[in-house]
């Protein structure tokens, strides 16, 4: 933009604003140049995701059905079949590129750390490379779910007597399922305690809250009275959740929480 254009097109604007306009406009007769914004990874990524990671023996371990929940800077990738949860913090997004730090749990325990970098295609894919050891070394691809326009609501996950009375799943190497109930206010109350594994006899209580304009929920729970490992799993956990439709509407609750040491995560049904 020429000095003449600045003074004739915008004669009364302060010089600071004129300087900004000079950067944003191509010329008096040209359109506004829109600067690219950073990618938005938020949402649920379905079970079509996958990863190839180090198997610890100079080979490759293939992880199928890799799902993910992303909200703000929290990214949680999980494979229930492999017993893996990657609990991450997105540390930067620059255009389509991102970096993240992960804590990785196997069967809810034995956390290891890894870093990741990759590319976000908003509303489509996240691809990345993990830099660490074992399951923290490799590549992954996440597939954005078509259900992200279905907004989260407590009525979708509330337990109803005679219909879906509890949410239940095996967690942390258990042989008896952990069960809990979600009421119409999102309050989580334990029902049947897990038997065996690192979360044996834990009471699980807390709150699940829909995230505005999202298909996801924030989760805050507290584990108490755990008997395994001297009660080491007792404490507060945070994470994310979403509902998924397998056989009937919203019949699966993808539930991922962690506290830096343990992670009771699963597909609850």
Span 91-146, pLDDT tens digits:
999 999 999 999 999 999 999 999 999 999 999 999 999 999 999 999 999 999 99
Segment 154-176 shows an average pLDDT of: 95
CA distance 227 to 220: 21
- Strands in the chain per DSSP E: 43-54, 60-71, 74-79, 84-94, 97-106, 109-121, 125-131, 138-144, 167-169, 178-182, 187-190, 203-210, 217-224, 235-244, 252-258, 266-268
pLDDT at 58 (0 to 100): 85
Question: What are 77's strand-pairing partners?
Answer: 68, 86
Instruction: Give the other-Cβ count within 10 Å of 13's Cβ.
Output: 14
Segment 250-264 shows an average pLDDT of: 98
Helical (H) or strand (E) element with 17: helix 15-24
Residue with tokens 């991922």: 256
Q: Give percent above pLDDT 70 in the chain.
A: 87
pLDDT at 129 (0 to 100): 99
Task: Give per-residue pLDDT as tens, 210-245.
Answer: 999 999 999 999 999 999 888 899 999 999 999 999
CA distance 167 to 144: 25
pLDDT at 21 over 60: no
Task: Give per-residue pLDDT as tens, 29-55.
Answer: 445 556 679 999 999 999 999 999 999
Task: Give per-residue pLDDT as tens, 48-95.
Answer: 999 999 998 989 999 999 999 999 999 999 999 999 999 999 999 999
Model pTM? 0.86
Segment 8-16 shows an average pLDDT of: 44
Helical (H) or strand (E) element with 150: none
CA distance 64 to 61: 10
pLDDT at 88 (0 to 100): 99
Average pLDDT, rounded, for the chain: 90
Residues found in the chain = 269
Angle CA 157–160–164, to nearest 5 = 70
pLDDT at 7 over 60: no
pLDDT at 31 (0 to 100): 52
């Amino acid at each position: 933009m020429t000095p003449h254009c600045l003074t004739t097109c915008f004669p009364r604007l302060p010089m600071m604003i004129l300087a900004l306009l000079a950067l944003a406009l191509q010329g008096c007769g040209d359109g506004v140049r829109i600067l690219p914004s950073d990618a938005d990874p938020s949402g649920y990524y379905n079970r079509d995701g996958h990863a190839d990671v180090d198997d610890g023996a100079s080979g490759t371990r293939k992880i199928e059905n890799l799902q993910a929940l992303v909200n703000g800077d929290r990214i949680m990738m999980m494979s229930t079949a492999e017993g893996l949860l990657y609990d991450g913090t997105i540390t930067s997004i620059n255009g389509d590129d991102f970096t993240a730090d992960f804590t990785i749990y196997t069967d809810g325990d034995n956390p290891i750390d890894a870093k990741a970098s990759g590319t976000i295609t908003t509303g489509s894919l996240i691809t990345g490379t993990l830099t660490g050891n074992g399951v923290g070394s490799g590549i992954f691809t996440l597939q954005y779910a078509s259900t992200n326009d279905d907004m989260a609501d407590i009525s979708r996950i509330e337990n109803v007597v005679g219909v879906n009375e509890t949410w239940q799943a095996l967690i942390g190497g258990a042989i008896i399922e952990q069960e809990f109930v979600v009421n119409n206010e999102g309050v989580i109350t334990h029902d049947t305690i897990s038997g065996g594994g690192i979360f044996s006899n834990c009471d699980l209580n807390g709150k699940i809250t829909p995230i505005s304009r999202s298909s996801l929920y924030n989760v805050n729970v507290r584990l108490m009275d755990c008997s395994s490992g001297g009660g080491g799993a007792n404490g507060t956990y945070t994470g994310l959740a979403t509902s998924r439709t397998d056989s009937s509407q919203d019949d699966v609750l993808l539930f991922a929480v962690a506290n830096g040491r343990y992670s009771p995560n699963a597909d609850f049904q």
